C-alpha cells in the first residue's frame, strides 16, 4: 500500500508498506543539488552532505555512527544535480530510531568551525581521488564543454578553491534557503505503518526551520556542441560521445530505456557485442544517460588504447547511424522489454530501491507510478517509436566529444594539456 500526506508546514511524507519484508528504508530528500548553486557556491550541496554527519546539539558524529552500527543499520547520503538524500536502512522495529537520527542531522547539525575545517581536508582528498580517476574525469570534461558556464557543467563535488573558501555562514545561509519543510520530502518503504510514520515526522520536524518560500531555480541551458581533447599521462584514452537527451518526465522515457538497453545498456547490446566481444577493442564500453527534470544527455563511454581510438569512434558512429536509420530488430525489442521488466522486479525486492522509486516518482511526477503502469508502458513501446526517437537522438550532427588520455589528437582535434586550474577552479577547460 502506498500513501501520501502533506503536513501543515508543507513537508511531504510518502510511504509504501511491504509487509513481507522485515527491513525498512527511510530517506530525507531535499531539493538541494549542484545545479542550484552559484559559481561561488560550487560544491556547497555536496559539502553540506558531509557536514550533516558531523554532530548535532544532542549527538556527536561518533554517537550517530555507533547508534546505527549497534542495530546493524546502514546510514548514508548522496548528492546529485537536483537533490540531496540522507537515508537509512534498518530492521522494521528500529524505524523510529532511524528517523530520529536522520531528522536530528537535518534539523540540528552544529556546523562547528573545527569540523568544517577538518571536513574540507576530506573533501579535498575526494576531489584528488576523482582527478586520479580519468574515466570519471572525462565525464566532467564533457559536461563542462556541453553546459559551458551553467551550473550543470560543474562537478557536483565542486573545485578545491571553492571548497577551501567556504565559511560557516555559507553553510547556514544555504541550509536556511533550502532545508525547510516546503523543500523536503520524507520517503519510506518496508514493514511500516504510514500513520505512525506521519506522527513521528510531525514530532521530529515540529521545530524545523521556517519555510522561506520556493527556493530559486536554475533553468536548463541550451547545450553547446563541442569537441574537447586533453592529454593526460595514463594507460588508456577515455572517450565520451554525447548529445542532448530527454528529461525525466518526457513521455518518451520508456522508449529511451528500450533504446538505451539495445545500444549499450547490457552485455548483449550492440556496442558491447561489436566493440568488445567481436573486435576486442575495449574492456569498458556502455551508453550513458542522464535525465533531469527539464533536460538530459545521452551518449557512449569507452576506454581504450590510444591507437584504437579512431576505430572505436568509427564503430560507435556506425552503430548509431544504423539504428538511427533502420531502428532495431524484433528480437532486440522484446529482449530489451524483458530486461527492463526483470530489473524492475529485482529492484522491488529491496526496500532501498522501493524508497527511492516512490520518492523520485513523487518528486518528478507528483504522484505514485504503479508498477503495473510502468510494465504497461514498457510493453507498449513500438518499433516505430524507437526508430523515431533514434533518428533524432542519434543524429551525428548533434554529438559532442570529450577525450582524455595519452594522445596527440582525437577525431581531428589536437590534444591540449589539461590546465592545473581545472582541478582548483574549473577554469580554462572548455
Q: Cα(21)–Cα(58) distance, rounded to whole angstroms?
A: 32
User: Is 49 one of the annotated active-site residues of the chain?
Assistant: yes
Q: Cα(271)–Cα(290) distance, rounded to whole angstroms?
A: 18
| Cβ–Cβ under 8 Å, residues 354 and 190 | yes
Say which of 16, 20, 37, 49 is annotated catalytic: 49
Question: Which three cell numbers mark 330?
Answer: 524484433
Q: Collapsing DSSP states into helix, strand and coil, what is residue 290?
A: strand
Q: Collapsing DSSP states into helix, strand and coil, what is residue 352?
A: helix
| Cβ–Cβ under 8 Å, residues 381 and 195 | no
Beta strands 184-190 and 12-17, pairing class = parallel
Phi, psi dihedrals of residue 39, rounded to the nearest 5°: -60, -40
Which segments of 219-368 are extended strands (E)? 227-231, 237-244, 284-291, 296-304
Q: Cα(142)–Cα(179) distance, rounded to whole angstroms?
A: 31
Which segments of 156-222 are extended strands (E)? 184-190
Name the region of 110 (left: φ>0; alpha: ψ -120 to 50; beta: rest): alpha
Residues contacting 108, CB < 8 A, separation 6+: 56, 57, 58
Q: Cα(328)–Cα(351) distance, rounded to whole angstroms?
A: 35
Q: Cα(71)–Cα(97) distance, rounded to whole angstroms?
A: 10
Phi, psi dihedrals of residue 291, rounded to the nearest 5°: -125, 115
Q: Cα(373)–Cα(261) distance, rounded to whole angstroms?
A: 20
State the DSSP H helix or E strand holding residue 347, giving kind and residue range, or none if neither: helix 330-347
DSSP labels for 236-259? Answer: SEEEEEEEE---TT-TTHHHHHHH
Question: CA dihedral defined by 349, 355, 358, 359, rounded to 10 degrees?
Answer: -160
Rg (CA), the chain: 23
Q: How many CA atoms, within 13 angstroms, populate the side-chain half-sphere of residue 15?
A: 22
Question: Which three cell numbers mark 273?
Answer: 557485442
Neighbours of 202 (CB within 10 A): 15
Query: Which residues are annotated as catalytic?
Result: 49
Amino acid at each position: 500500500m502506498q500513501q501520501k500526506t502533506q503536513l501543515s508546514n508543507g513537508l511531504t511524507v510518502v510511504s509504501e508498506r511491504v509487509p513481507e519484508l522485515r527491513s525498512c528504508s527511510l530517506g530525507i530528500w531535499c531539493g538541494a543539488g549542484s545545479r542550484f548553486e552559484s559559481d561561488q557556491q560550487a560544491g556547497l550541496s555536496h559539502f553540506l552532505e558531509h557536514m550533516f554527519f558531523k554532530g548535532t546539539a544532542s549527538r556527536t558524529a561518533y554517537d550517530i555512527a555507533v547508534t546505527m552500527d549497534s542495530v546493524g543499520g546502514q546510514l548514508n547520503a548522496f548528492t546529485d544535480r537536483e537533490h540531496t538524500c540522507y537515508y537509512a536502512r534498518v530492521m522494521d522495529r528500529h524505524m523510529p530510531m532511524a528517523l530520529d537520527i536522520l531528522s536530528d542531522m537535518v534539523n540540528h547539525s552544529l556546523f562547528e568551525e573545527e569540523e568544517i575545517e577538518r571536513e574540507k581536508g576530506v573533501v579535498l582528498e575526494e576531489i584528488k581521488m576523482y582527478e586520479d580517476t580519468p574515466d570519471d574525469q572525462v565525464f566532467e570534461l564533457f559536461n563542462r564543454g556541453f553546459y559551458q558556464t551553467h551550473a550543470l557543467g560543474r562537478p557536483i563535488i565542486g573545485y578545491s578553491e571553492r571548497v577551501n573558501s567556504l565559511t560557516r555562514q555559507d553553510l547556514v545561509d544555504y541550509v536556511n534557503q533550502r532545508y525547510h519543510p516546503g523543500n523536503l520530502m520524507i520517503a519510506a518503504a518496508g514493514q511500516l505503518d504510514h500513520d505512525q510514520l506521519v506522527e513521528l515526522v510531525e514530532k521530529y520536524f515540529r521545530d524545523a526551520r521556517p519555510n522561506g518560500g520556493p527556493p530559486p531555480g536554475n533553468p536548463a541551458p541550451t547545450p553547446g556542441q563541442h569537441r574537447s581533447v586533453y592529454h593526460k599521462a595514463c594507460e588508456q584514452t577515455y572517450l565520451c560521445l554525447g548529445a542532448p537527451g530527454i528529461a525525466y518526465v518526457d513521455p518518451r522515457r520508456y522508449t529511451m530505456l528500450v533504446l538505451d538497453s539495445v545500444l549499450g545498456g547490457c552485455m548483449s547490446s550492440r556496442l558491447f557485442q561489436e566493440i568488445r566481444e567481436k573486435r576486442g577493442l575495449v574492456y569498458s564500453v556502455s551508453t550513458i544517460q542522464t535525465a533531469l527534470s527539464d533536460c538530459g544527455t545521452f551518449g557512449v563511454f569507452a576506454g581504450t588504447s590510444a591507437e584504437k581510438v579512431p576505430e572505436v569512434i568509427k564503430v560507435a558512429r556506425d552503430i548509431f547511424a544504423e539504428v538511427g536509420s533502420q531502428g532495431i530488430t524484433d528480437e532486440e525489442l522484446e529482449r530489451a522489454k524483458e530486461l527492463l521488466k526483470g530489473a524492475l522486479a529485482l529492484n522491488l525486492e529491496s526496500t532501498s530501491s522501493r524508497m527511492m522509486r516512490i520518492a523520485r516518482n513523487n518528486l518528478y511526477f507528483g504522484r505514485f507510478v504503479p508498477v503495473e503502469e510502468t510494465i504497461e508502458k514498457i510493453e507498449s513501446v513500438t518499433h516505430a517509436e524507437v526508430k523515431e526517437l533514434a533518428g533524432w537522438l542519434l543524429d551525428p550532427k548533434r554529438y559532442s566529444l570529450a577525450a582524455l588520455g595519452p594522445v596527440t589528437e582525437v577525431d581531428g582535434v589536437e590534444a591540449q594539456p589539461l590546465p592545473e586550474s581545472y582541478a582548483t577552479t574549473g577554469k580554462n577547460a572548455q
